[in-house]
Amino acid sequence: MSKVIGVVVAAALVLAGCGGSSSSSPGTIYVRVAHLSPNAPAVDFCVKNGTGSFTGPVLKGLGITTGLPYSSVTEYLSLTAGTYAARLVAPDAADCTTSLAGLPDYDLPALGDGTYATVAAVGLVGGTPAFTVKPFIDEHASAAGKAALRFIHASPGTPAVDVGLESGATFTPVFSAVTYPSITTGGGVDANGFIETAPLTGVTVAARVTGTTTDALVVPGVSLPASASATVFAIGIIGSSSSPLAALVCVDNAPAVGGLTPCTVHNDIYVRVAHLSPNAPAVDFCLKNGTGSFAGPVLKDLGITAGLPYSKVTEYLPIIPGTYTARLVAPDAADCTTSLAGLPDYSLPSLSGGTYATVAAVGLVGGTPAFTVKPFVDEHVTAAGKAALRFIHASPGTPAVDVGLESGATFTPVFSAVAYPSITIGGGVDSNGYVETAPLTGVTVAARATGTTTDALVVPGVSLPASASATVFAIGIIGSTPTPLKALVCVDNAPPTAGLSECAIEPATAMLP
């Protein structure tokens, strides 16, 4: 809640955009400011009507002394219609003399008497797309027995999206090809971006990149009673840990609370399942959040009726934050009642919103080491011009290994003493097991039992472009014919295909002494 510079800017713009009546009867406009700039601090703002002097700071005058932070939206402010300019200032500014961070003043468009508007601060301060203020006309009335819903794309760096209602594997588009930073119109959507709908109760709103079938953002449990008007903003940055992609849902015509519009941030976590147990059959799974009921089977609901086989990894599935329990079930299970082969339920760690994670099924069903589920936190963002690489030891019965780059007789260790079933950290490897590296082109990755000089696993021709994040899993069993020791290489932040992550089993030698 500390990133409100953009909000202040937006507020100022909103105020400026409120002007517009004649001098004899200027009328009133209603403007609110939305802080949707992920890297902007909290701000206050001042406004100037025509050639007058700046007045404010506005929020400070309303008793909001800490400014407007990121992901917050002010209540509607009643303004005399006119031609406004806005100036962003620090939340603790004594007056309007000095703008925040040297930002320019913003001239706002004129709005007619009685108009409601949102001035949104969007983009990135000092980044691309650049910070700016974007005004939107709001609607506070709907037809009798109806509700109104709008989607505004305010997520910098996210491509155009289709937004609709989702039920199981069925996606019904409502807003098509919405680009940043705007709304869409036409096809039942009015000039202000709203669609009239019957009241909604517990529906799921989803957004997916236009032309794809993979959800990028999911907002479950949306309810909208008759006469309500609501806006769903896509905010944040895909892959960011501090300001992840999220949905900000605001009921536009609800009473204000503490000087703010009532809004809720829906910030998903993204989980994929990796089947790395050599002797386990294809599986489906169900999930339970807290003390609720199991939902699923998840893959069956997504149209994957054959389940997840060994050596495959699902795409990332967006779920609301919480503390989950997983139950494995047969691919053809009618419901979540009976676990597969009597396996126990597995408790998963609580993950914060915006986190990406892999839940890996490892070990041997009925054997040693025993079958279990192991979670790993993934990374989807790398430093500019860099790539990220991780090694996860998931080969039951294989001793700890050193993993590195090989060139001729030279072996350069990168991951040291990686034991089953885990990662290693330290020595340049971060807490999630990744090492930052320059892009790789055609290198050879090799693993050898710790303390030896004999390769147990060799993966030639590994290439990893800038911005890519990849995980190499050691899977299989040494000496096994049907499931030999191999490397499963997954590009963690690549687009999925047919519900699966981009992974490949590499043709590797696999013999330990």
pLDDT higher than threshold 50 for residue 491: yes
pLDDT grade for 383, boundaries at 50, 70 and 90: confident
Burial state string for 280-308 with b = 16 or more CB within 10 A and e = fewer than 16: bbbbbbbbbeeeeebebbbbbebebeebb
CATH number for the region 140-266 comes to: 2.60.40
The percent of residues in the chain predicted with pLDDT above 70, rounded, is 93
Kindly report the pTM of this predicted structure: 0.64
Helix (H) or strand (E) holding 14: helix 5-16
- Decide if 505 contacts 311 (C-beta within 8 A): yes
- Decide if 31 contacts 17 (C-beta within 8 A): yes
CA distance 347 to 333: 21
CA distance 20 to 455: 76
- Residue 152 pLDDT: 98
CA distance 443 to 465: 12
- Residue 25 pLDDT: 62
Mean pLDDT, residues 344-366: 89
- Residue 18 pLDDT: 37
Mean pLDDT, residues 152-172: 89
pLDDT grade for 15, boundaries at 50, 70 and 90: very low
Mean pLDDT, residues 101-117: 86
List the alpha helices (DSSP H) in 239-329. Answer: 298-301
Closest residue by Cα to residue 36 from 232, 256, 208: 232
CA distance 121 to 37: 6
Amino acid at residue number 329: V
Lowest mean pLDDT among 61-70, 81-90, 278-287, 419-428: 81-90
- Residue 326 pLDDT: 94
Give the DSSP letter of residue 121: E
Strand order in the sheet with 401-407: 410-418, 401-407, 440-449, 455-464
Q: What is the DSSP string of 191-247?
A: TTSEEEE--EEEEEEEEEETT--SEEEEEEEEEE-TT-EEEEEEESBTT-SSSB-EE
Q: What are phi and psi of 7, to 5 degrees?
A: -65, -40
268-378: which CATH number, 2.60.40, 3.30.160, 3.30.750, 1.10.287? 2.60.40
pLDDT higher than threshold 70 for residue 251: yes
Lowest mean pLDDT among 13-22, 46-55, 423-432, 462-471: 13-22
Helix (H) or strand (E) holding 59: helix 58-61
Q: What is the mean pLDDT of the chain?
A: 87
- Residue 281 pLDDT: 95
CA distance 116 to 138: 5
- Residue 476 pLDDT: 94
Interior angle at CA 161, CA 157 and CA 166, nearest 5: 135
Higher pLDDT pick, 507 / 170: 170
Q: What is the pLDDT of residues 288-332, one digit of tens each?
A: 988 888 988 999 888 888 999 999 999 888 787 778 999 999 998
Mean pLDDT, residues 270-290: 93
CA distance 361 to 338: 18
CA distance 510 to 487: 9
Q: What is the pLDDT of residues 163-213, one digit of tens each?
A: 999 876 688 999 999 999 999 999 999 999 999 999 999 888 888 888 877
Closest residue by Cα to residue 320 from 204, 406, 232: 204
Lowest mean pLDDT among 396-400, 434-438, 499-503: 499-503
CA distance 80 to 164: 38
CA distance 461 to 275: 24
CA–chain centroid gap for 393, Å, is: 27
Lowest mean pLDDT among 53-67, 205-219, 377-391, 453-467: 205-219
Higher pLDDT pick, 25 / 405: 405
Own/partner pairs for 98-102, CB < 8 Å, 24+ apart? 100/5, 100/8, 100/41, 100/43, 101/5, 101/125
